[in-house]
C-alpha cells in the first residue's frame, strides 16, 4: 500500500455491430454477431464479444488463429497470426471455457504489454477476444533496423539512472535481466531492452526500465512495487499456535514445532506460509520467527501473529471462494516480513514477498494488523500473475482498485469487523472512523467517484491510487445498490460481485486495459456467469454507468 500521491486517461467507445462474414464463420442457421469495443486513442479494437465463430471441433488455438487471420484488416497487423502471436498459456475454467493468452510479437520480438485473451466455449465457439494489439508495426520507421546497443550496455545505463534516482546503489533482491522487446509509448514503437530492479534497500522499490536498443537512452521508468527466500531443511511437527494480534484479539494459526521451538511456518496451505522478523532493520526476509512455547502474546509478537494468520485467511479466501491455489494458482509460498525499518509507515508487495512496517504510532500502528491491508497486498500478487496490469495510468488505477475490492471482500468473508473502508483498523489510531480510502464515498479522502472528475495529472504514476476511487465506487454500488449521479443500481451482494470481478481480473483484463475496456470485460464476465439477459449483467452495466464509465 504505497503512500498516496497525486493519468492521462485515454477515452474509448463501444461500437455494436452485426457482421456478415465469409462462410468460414457463418454456416446456414448460424448467425454471427459481434460487439466491437474500440479504443479511440489508438483506433484499435480492445474487446470483441458475441458469437464470433460457428461451432467447431477444432482446437481452441486453431479457432482463435483462424478468426484473427480473417480480422487482419480490423486489427491492422501485417502478417498471419502464426507469425504475429505466440501462445503464452491455454487453460480451461470451471465454466468449460478454454482461455488462450497470446503475446503479440513483431519479427519474433514480444511487444511489451500487448497480450490478447481469447475464450472458446464448450461448443467450440469463440465468444470473446480481449486486449489491444498494436497496429501497423510494419509501418513504424524505428523498427526498420535492429539493435545497436548491447544488452549489458542497456543494463548499465538503467542501473546508473536508478542509482542517480536513489542517491546510492541499491541492494538487488536478484539480478536484473534485460529482455529485448518492442516498447510502444505515445504511438512511437521502438526496439528496447526491458528490465526490472527489485530491492528493499536503501528504500523499497521494483522499478521497470526501458532503454532504447538503438540509442541507449532511457525511454521510460516507473516504480511498480505493490515476490521470499525459501526456508530449506526445516523439519518438525505441524502444530497450532495461539497469540494476540496488533489490536489485542486472540487468534490461532498453523506453526511448525521441533526441538528449537515453534516457527511461524504453515505447511498446510500450498507450498507454505512463512513469517519473518526484520528486527527493525531494512534487510529481508530477516529471521524466521521462532517462539519458545507456541504462545505469542507479547506486544512485539502482535504484528507477526496478524501477518501469519491473515495471510492464511487470504489464502483460504481465494482458494475456497475462487478455487485459486495461492496467488499464482499453483500453491506459491507466501512470505511475510514484519518489523521492517523503524516507524515505517507502509506495507507492500515487493514483487516476491510481503513487507510490513510498524508505523509511527500516529499515522499508522503496525500495518499487518488489518486483514483488508494484507488481502489488498496479496491481491497485487494475483494481479501480477494474471492480468499483469501495468502500474501506470488507468491500468494502474484498476490494479489498485482490484486490491481494494478483494481486500474488502476477504474482510467480509471472515466477518472481521467488515466495512467498505480500507485500512481503518491501523490508520490514524487517535481518529475514530478514519481510513485510507472509502469505497462507499471516495470523495471523503479527496478521490474521484466519477470518471468525469478523474485526476489527469502525472503524479502517483498517473493517479493509480487516486483514480482507483472510480472503480471502488462501482464495486460498492454493484454489491450494495444505490443511486449515484442520477443512475440507480440494483445491488447483487458481495458473493456475486466477487465472482464477477475475479473473472474479469483473471480472464479478461490485459496489461494495458483502460476503464472503458474494464467495463466491457466485467459485462462479459457477468454474462459468462449469469447469462446476457440476467439482472446481474444489468447491474454491472448500471454500476459502471453510475461512475461515468461507458
DSSP line for 104-136: EEETTEEEEEEEEEEEE-TTS-EEEEESPPPP-
Confidence of residue 9 (pLDDT cuts 50, 70, 90): very low
Domain ranges of the chain: 12-137, 151-223, 237-384, 393-546
pLDDT-derived band at 230 (thresholds 50, 70, 90) equals: very low
How far, in Å, CA of 385 to CA of 364, rounded? 30
Which pLDDT score, from 0 to 100, does residue 225 have? 77
Q: How far is CA 189 from CA 42, 140, 154, 163, 390, in A?
A: 13, 7, 17, 27, 17
- Domain made up of 12-137: CATH architecture: 2-Layer Sandwich (3.30)
Asked if 137 and 111 touch (Cβ cutoff 8 Å), the reply is: yes
User: Does position 516 have pLDDT exceeding 60, yes or no?
Assistant: yes
| pLDDT for the residue numbered 228 | 29
**Confidence band, pLDDT 50/70/90 cuts, at residue 15:** very low
Dmax over CA atoms of the chain, in Å, equals 75
Report which of 59, 68, 56, 60 is spatially closest to residue 27, judged by C-alpha positions.
56
Instruction: Tell me the average pLDDT across 115-144.
Output: 94
Residue-level pLDDT at 31: 67
Is pLDDT of 196 > 60? Answer: yes
419-452 pLDDT, tens digit each: 999 999 999 999 998 999 999 999 999 999 999 9
pLDDT value, residue 17: 28
Distance in angstroms (rounded) separating the CA atoms of residues 40 and 62: 30
In angstroms, the CA 216 to CA 512 distance is 25
Q: What is the pTM of this model?
A: 0.87
CB 314 within 8 A of CB 326: no
Residue 410: partners with Cβ closer than 8 Å, 6 or more residues away: 313, 314, 317, 371, 372, 375
Just give the CATH number of 151-223: 3.10.450.40
Instruction: Read off the pLDDT of each residue in 261-275 and give the average, rounded to a whole number.
Output: 97
Cα angle 483, 484, 489; round to 5: 45
**What is the C-alpha to C-alpha distance for residues 9 and 254, in angstroms, rounded to an integer?**
45
Superfamily of domain covering 393-546: Neutral Protease Domain 2 (1.10.390.10)
Identify the pLDDT of residue 226.
Answer: 62
For 50-56, the CB contacts below 8 A with 24+ separation are 50/127, 51/125, 51/127, 52/25, 52/125, 52/126, 52/127, 52/128, 52/129, 53/25, 53/124, 53/125, 53/126, 54/25, 54/26, 54/27, 54/30, 54/125, 55/30, 55/123, 55/124, 55/125, 56/124, 56/125
Tell whether the torsion through CA atoms of 279, 284, 285 and 288 is positive or negative: negative
Give the contacts of 155 (CB within 8 A, at least 6 positions apart). Answer: 176, 178, 193, 195
Quick one: pLDDT at residue 533?
97
Please, which residues bridge with residue 287 across strands? Answer: 277
Q: How confident is the model at residue 201 (pLDDT cuts 50, 70, 90)?
A: confident
The residue annotated as part of the active site, out of 37, 339, 376, 465, is: 465
| pLDDT at residue 29 tops 50 | no
Q: Once rounded to an integer, what is the mean pLDDT over residues 130-146?
A: 91
Average pLDDT, whole number, for the chain? 91
Query: Is the CB of residue 238 less than 8 Å from the CB of residue 256?
Result: yes
Tell me how far CA of residue 130 lies from CA of 216, 341, 526, in angstroms. Answer: 33, 42, 15
Contact status, residue 387 vs residue 393, Cβ threshold 8 Å? no
> Which residues, in sequence order, are CB contacts of 550 under 8 Å at separation 6+?
14, 516, 519, 544
Q: Which of 34, 198, 227, 377 is catalytic?
A: 377
Q: Are 513 and 7 in contact (CB under 8 A)?
A: no
26 vs 219, residue with greater confidence: 219
- pLDDT at position 198, please? 92
Report yes or no: 131 and 510 within 8 Å, Cβ to Cβ.
yes
CB atoms within 10 A of CB 390: 22
Kindly tell me the sign of the dihedral angle through the C-alpha atoms of 446, 448, 452, 458.
positive
pLDDT in tens, 378-407: 999 999 999 999 999 999 999 999 999 999
Question: Is a pLDDT exceeding 50 seen at residue 530?
Answer: yes
Confidence of residue 14 (pLDDT cuts 50, 70, 90): very low
Our measurement of the distance from residue 325's CA atom to the centroid of its chain's CA atoms, rounded to an integer in Å, reads 16
Nearest-Å Rg of the Cα atoms of the chain is 24
Active site residue 484: no
At residue 186 the predicted structure's pLDDT band, cuts being 50, 70 and 90, is confident
What is the sign, positive or negative, of the torsion defined by CA atoms of 419, 422, 423, 427?
negative
DSSP-derived secondary structure letter, 1: -
Q: In the annotation, is 119 catalytic?
A: no
296-324 CB burial, b ≥16 within 10 A, e <16: beeeebbbbbbbbbbbbbbbebbbebbeb
Q: What is the pLDDT of residue 76?
A: 85
68-95 pLDDT tens trace:
999 988 988 877 888 899 999 999 999 9
Asked if pLDDT for residue 311 goes beyond 80, the answer is: yes
The pLDDT of residue 233 is above 70: no
CATH fold for the domain made of 237-384: Elastase; domain 1 (3.10.170)
532: Cα within 13 Å, side-chain hemisphere: 6
User: What is the CA 34 to chain-centroid distance, rounded?
Assistant: 28
Amino acid at each position: 500500500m504505497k503512500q498516496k500521491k497525486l493519468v492521462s486517461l485515454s477515452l474509448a467507445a463501444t461500437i455494436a455491430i452485426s457482421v456478415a462474414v465469409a462462410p468460414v464463420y457463418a454456416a446456414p442457421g448460424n448467425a454471427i454477431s459481434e460487439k466491437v469495443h474500440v479504443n479511440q486513442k489508438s483506433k484499435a479494437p480492445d474487446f470483441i464479444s458475441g458469437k464470433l465463430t460457428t461451432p467447431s471441433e477444432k482446437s481452441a488455438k486453431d479457432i482463435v488463429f483462424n478468426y484473427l487471420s480473417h480480422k487482419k484488416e480490423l486489427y491492422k497487423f501485417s502478417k498471419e497470426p502464426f507469425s504475429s502471436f505466440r501462445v503464452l498459456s491455454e487453460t480451461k475454467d470451471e465454466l468449460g471455457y478454454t482461455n488462450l493468452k497470446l503475446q503479440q510479437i513483431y519479427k519474433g520480438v514480444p511487444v511489451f504489454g500487448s497480450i490478447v485473451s481469447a475464450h472458446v466455449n464448450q461448443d467450440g465457439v469463440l465468444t470473446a477476444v480481449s486486449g489491444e494489439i498494436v497496429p501497423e508495426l510494419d509501418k513504424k520507421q524505428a523498427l526498420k533496423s535492429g539493435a545497436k546497443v548491447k544488452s549489458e550496455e542497456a543494463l548499465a545505463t538503467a542501473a546508473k539512472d536508478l542509482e542517480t534516482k536513489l542517491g546510492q546503489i541499491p541492494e538487488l533482491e536478484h539480478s536484473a535481466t534485460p529482455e529485448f522487446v518492442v516498447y510502444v509509448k505515445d504511438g512511437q514503437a521502438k526496439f528496447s531492452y526491458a528490465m526490472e530492479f527489485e530491492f528493499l534497500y536503501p528504500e523499497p522499490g521494483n522499478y521497470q526500465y526501458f532503454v532504447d536498443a538503438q540509442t541507449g537512452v532511457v525511454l521510460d521508468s516507473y516504480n511498480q512495487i505493490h515476490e521470499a527466500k525459501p526456508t530449506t531443511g526445516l523439519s518438525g511437527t505441524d502444530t497450532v499456535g495461539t497469540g494476540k494480534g496488533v489490536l489485542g484479539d486472540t487468534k490461532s494459526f498453523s506453526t511448525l514445532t521441533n526441538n528449537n521451538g515453534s516457527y511461524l511456518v504453515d505447511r498446510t496451505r500450498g507450498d507454505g506460509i512463512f513469517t519473518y522478523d526484520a528486527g527493525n532493520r531494512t534487510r529481508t526476509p530477516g529471521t524466521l520467527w521462532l517462539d519458545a512455547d507456541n504462545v505469542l502474546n507479547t506486544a512485539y509478537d502482535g504484528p507477526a501473529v496478524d501477518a501469519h494468520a491473515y495471510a492464511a485467511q487470504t489464502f483460504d479466501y481465494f482458494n475456497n471462494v475462487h478455487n485459486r491455489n495461492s496467488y499464482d494458482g499453483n500453491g506459491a509460498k507466501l512470505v511475510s516480513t514484519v518489523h521492517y525499518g523503524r516507524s515505517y509507515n507502509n506495507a507492500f508487495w515487493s514483487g516476491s514477498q510481503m513487507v510490513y512496517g510498524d508505523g509511527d504510532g500516529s499515522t499508522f500502528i503496525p500495518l499487518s494488523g488489518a486483514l483488508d491491508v494484507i488481502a489488498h497486498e496479496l491481491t497485487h500478487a494475483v494481479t501480477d500473475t494474471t492480468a499483469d496490469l501495468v502500474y501506470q495510468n488507468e491500468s494502474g488505477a484498476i490494479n489498485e482498485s482490484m486490491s481494494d475490492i478483494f481486500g474488502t471482500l476477504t474482510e467480509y468473508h471472515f466477518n472481521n469487523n467488515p466495512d467498505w473502508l480500507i485500512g481503518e483498523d491501523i490508520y490514524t489510531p487517535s481518529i475514530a472512523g478514519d481510513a485510507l480510502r472509502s469505497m462507499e464515498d471516495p470523495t471523503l479522502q479527496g478521490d474521484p467517484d466519477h470518471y468525469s472528475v478523474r485526476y489527469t495529472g502525472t503524479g502517483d504514476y498517473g493517479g493509480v491510487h487516486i483514480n482507483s476511487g472510480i472503480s471502488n465506487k462501482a464495486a460498492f454500488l454493484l454489491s450494495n445498490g444505490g443511486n449515484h449521479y442520477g443512475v440507480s443500481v440494483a445491488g447483487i451482494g458481495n458473493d456475486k460481485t466477487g465472482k464477477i470481478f475475479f473473472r474479469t481480473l483473471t480472464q479478461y483484463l490485459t496489461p494495458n486495459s483502460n476503464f472503458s475496456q474494464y467495463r466491457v470485460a466485467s459485462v462479459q464476465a457477468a454474462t459468462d456467469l449469469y447469462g446476457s439477459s440476467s439482472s446481474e449483467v444489468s447491474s454491472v452495466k448500471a454500476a459502471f454507468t453510475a461512475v461515468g464509465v461507458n
